[in-house]
Amino acid sequence: MKRIDRPSSILVLSILHLCLSSLGIISSILSLVIFLTLSDIPIFESQIGMLTTYDFVVSLLGIVFALCGVIAGYASITRKQWGRKAMLSLVITMLSFNTIYLILYFTIAPSGVHTSIWMVIFSYVWAVTYYGITIWYFTRPAAKEWFGS
């Protein structure tokens, strides 16, 4: 039986995805705590009122997707057969949601939002690049062979 070497690109992307998803869980939880805490401070009441629902939903979605990312990253590292498909599905879904978020940011986000326009654009370009690289490597023949699909 032929031994299949693990593609190093798959290992690196899986570890990176696991780490970034873990950070996503932490940052989404902190975001929820901050917004729920600031809503009790009188100075922030007027600004928080327009951001709470929007950021609350984004933070909850962040937790859900980050948990899925941890699972997909772990499955890819441990060579689960469904790990490759989970990673590709998650990355494509995240790319879609990032695009929707970018569109919503420029259309319905309230004025005076806490994030600069360049930060949003930079994070979107970074995300598209990362997701594109992940899709590229996870659809290569070596990755398909490694995962046995």
pLDDT in tens, 87-105: 999 999 989 988 887 887 7
Residue (of 13, 4, 3, 6) closest to 134 by Cα position = 13
The whole-number average pLDDT for the span 56-71 is 89
Query: Cα angle at 115 between 130 and 13, to 5 degrees?
Result: 15
> How far is the C-alpha of 52 from the C-alpha of 36, rounded, in Å?
8
- Cβ contact 87:73 at 8 Å: yes
CA 129 vs. chain centroid, Å, equals 13
The whole-number average pLDDT for the span 67-89 is 93
Looking at the chain, the whole-number percentage of residues with pLDDT higher than 70 is 79
pLDDT in tens, 111-121: 555 566 777 77
List Cα–Cα distances, 15 to 9, 11, 60, 69, 86, in angstroms: 10, 6, 23, 11, 15
What is the reported pLDDT for 31?
A: 83
Looking at the chain, the whole-number percentage of residues with pLDDT higher than 90 is 41
Phi/psi for 32 (5° steps) reads -60, -45
